[in-house]
Amino acid sequence: MPPGRAITPGLAGIRDEVDVVVVGLGITGAGLALDAAARGLTVLALDAHDLAFGTSRWSSKLVHGGLRYLARGHLAIAHESAVERGILMDVTAPHLVHPLPMLTPVGHDLTRARAAMTWAGLHAGDVLRRTARTSARTLPRPRLLNATEALSLAPSLRADALRGGLLAWDGQLEDDARLVVTVARTAASLGADLRTRARVTAATGTRVAVRDELTGVAYDVRARAVVNATGVWAGGLDEEVRLRPSRGTHLVLRASTLPHTRVAVMVPIPRTSARFAMVLPQPDGTLYVGLTDEAATGPVPDVPVPSEAEVDFLLDVVASAFASPPTRADVVGAYAGLRPLLEVPGTRSTSDLSRRHAILTSDTGLTTVVGGKLTTYRRMAQDTLDALVADGRLDAGPCRTSSLPLLGAAPPDELRRLDADARLVRRFGTDAELVLSTARGVTGLPDDDLLAPASDDVPVTLAELVFAVTDEGAHDVDDLLDRRTRVGLVAADRVVAEPLARRALELVRAARQGARDPRLHRT
Ligand SMILES: Cc1cc2nc3c(=O)[nH]c(=O)nc-3n(C[C@H](O)[C@H](O)[C@H](O)COP(=O)(O)OP(=O)(O)OC[C@H]3O[C@@H](n4cnc5c(N)ncnc54)[C@H](O)[C@@H]3O)c2cc1C
């Protein structure tokens, strides 16, 4: 990456006039920065805390095909979701999104009628896949399994009442925050200036007041368009934007709690007709159990906290499906996120509120884009930039992002052939070698040290932590453990990894004193 094209904590050296200011660097803001930079516009993108500080790191990490929308009759949104899933898996991020088999056990609490309805839904989902032109090689067709086949994929299921299973496929992210960081890094590689620890205190359609949270210094930046992509905090910059956030909670278990679970397991939620709790195996040796949908009232916290009732609810729901159900003692972590749902007059339940994105323009000309989901971030950015170009506020060509691979992207076959550390390939794709060589150059340490996991249970390496500081704008231990990696999801693992994070920060700091590499002088 050429010098200066980076993600930088603080505001030192920013320009006072650009084409587009983007406020917020969750997936929505990162996607906007990428789209605008790819159209050749000058971009300043700002986050009060860090990349992926908000909702974007608290998701289920799924890349959905839109089945849920189909069930509610929202055909256009369902199709849009399926198309975006295909673009992510085939073009822009095949290194970060892989196919996830999802098993609905038949028996237990799934009545024959509900099984038939679920099977019909899975078939409709497959029609969506085909209309979105995603091949069955990328996402196989749904299949009926007998009880033996179902058990071989999830041996911890209760065998006694199991009659079989419904198997379908969707996309799963390596990690939601990693998607944000990769989109952000790709935007930076195209010239966007991305700043963290940069709080916007006021915004109109052509101006932002922004405070450097490291120094306290205030700046004023002019722009031809300002886009508010602050998710659940959007109302803080534009009081006309009214949100009704809903909280979604996940539990984190060790993979060994439900051994050899190779598929996501969908467990019907009692007394609902089409809602399921999910047990989701993760690439890092954990399992997530999710998720709730609770109206969240009151002020929006920086970091939402799961309630005890949500933890009990999730454990209760999944208990019926497993021979040795997880207990409270198995819960090694839990996290909650707030869905930024737009207030729609006349709706009671948050699950009825539209999940589609909305683009709103205030009286001051400030554009807010809110709603949507990780899966559709690219389309949200395209629609927003197209609207600003159509209004004559921006002078730019068409959107390029549907054919623009993110940094490190390559087809799965090519990734499998790479001669590089497997964890780095999973998280950085073809940039795995760049990560290692950067860490080598900065620290002078041998590869064995740079690639050693923090412990048997904690796979994070010094190489990725050093790269996070030099190339991904990580500023402190929290950035490293809670957003560049996700060790922080399990408190005990976080303690184990903390010395490694401190070492990475110290090694880069030492290298910066007297360094010749200009990337080391950024912060
Ligand atoms: C529990 C849960 C599970 C989900 N699961 C999925 C899933 O599996 N798949 C999927 O596709 N989608 C999923 N979603 C939806 C998806 O996560 C969200 O729609 C998406 O992450 C919202 O991103 P965002 O960038 O709009 O907001 P955020 O990620 O919240 O980003 C907003 C950013 O704005 C910054 N900010 C706020 N105020 C200011 C300010 N004044 N100045 C500067 N910066 C500011 C914040 O620090 C934050 O980083 C899920 C959502 C939830 C809640």
pLDDT digits (tens, 9 = 90+) for 13-24: 999 999 999 999
Burial (CB count <10 Å: 0-12, 13-18, 19+), residue 79: middle
Q: How confident is the model at residue 397 (pLDDT cuts 50, 70, 90)?
A: very high
Q: Is the model's pLDDT at 474 over the cut of 70?
A: yes
Model confidence band, residue 4 (pLDDT cutoffs 50, 70, 90) = very low
Q: Is pLDDT above 50 for 1?
A: no
Mean pLDDT calculated for residue range 209-218: 98
What's the 85 CA to ligand 1 centre distance in angstroms? 18
Is 231 touching ligand 1 by the criterion CB < 6 Å? yes
CA distance 12 to 94: 35
Contacts of 210 (CB under 8 A, 6+ apart): 11, 46, 198, 199, 200, 201, 218, 219, 220, 221
Tell me the three state secondary structure of residue 469.
helix
Ligand 1 contact via 292 beta carbon (within 6 Å):
no
246, β-bridge pairs:
295, 339
pLDDT of residue 350: 46
Give the nearest ligand 1 atom to 369 CA: 26
Between 89 and 350, the more confident residue is: 89
Nearest atom in ligand 1 to 250's CA: 1
What CA–CA distance (Å, rounded) separates 339 from 371? 8
H helices present in 139-290, as ranges: 147-153, 176-189
- pLDDT for the residue numbered 110: 76
pLDDT, residue 183, reads: 98
What does the block give as tokens for 328?
């409270």
What pLDDT is recorded for position 42? 98
Q: How many A from CA of 374 to the centre of ligand 1?
A: 8
Ligand 1 atom closest to the Cα of residue 374 is: 11
CA nearest neighbour of 360 among 228, 243, 230: 228
Residue 515 has pLDDT above 70, yes or no: no
Q: Structure pTM?
A: 0.96
Q: Residue 59's pLDDT is what?
A: 97
Among 10-14, 113-117, 393-397, 492-496, whose mean pLDDT is lowest? 113-117
For residue 369 and ligand 1, the question of a CB distance below 6 A is answered with no
Q: Mean pLDDT across the chain, nearest whole number?
A: 93
Calculate mean pLDDT across residues 43-70: 94
**Is the Cβ atom of 429 under 6 angstroms away from ligand 1?**
no
- Indicate if ligand 1 lies below 6 Å from the C-beta of 355: no
For ligand 1, mutation pick of 25, 55, 314 (most atoms within 8 Å of CB): 55
Share of the chain above pLDDT 90, in %: 84
Tell me if 205 CB under 6 Å of ligand 1. Answer: no
Ligand 1 atom 1, closest CA: 248
Q: pLDDT band at 71, cuts 50/70/90?
A: confident
The answer on pLDDT for 354 being more than 60 is: no
Taken in order 215, 219, 225, 231, the sign of the CA dihedral is: positive
Ligand 1 and 373: CB distance under 6 A: yes
Half-sphere exposure of 341 (CA within 13 A, CB side): 25
Closest CA to ligand 1's atom 48: 54
Residue of the nearest CA to atom 2 in ligand 1?
59
Q: Residue 257 C-alpha to ligand 1 middle, in angstroms?
A: 29
Per-residue pLDDT averaged across 281-292, rounded? Answer: 95
- 249 Cβ inside 6 Å of ligand 1: no
Tell me which of 68, 374, 482 to substitute to probe ligand 1's pocket, judged by most ligand atoms within 8 Å of the beta carbon: 374
Distance from Cα 184 to the centre of ligand 1, integer Å: 14
pLDDT higher than 60, residue 425: yes
109 pLDDT higher than 90: no
Taking the centre of ligand 1 as the mean of its atom positions, its distance from the CA of residue 42, in whole angstroms, is: 24
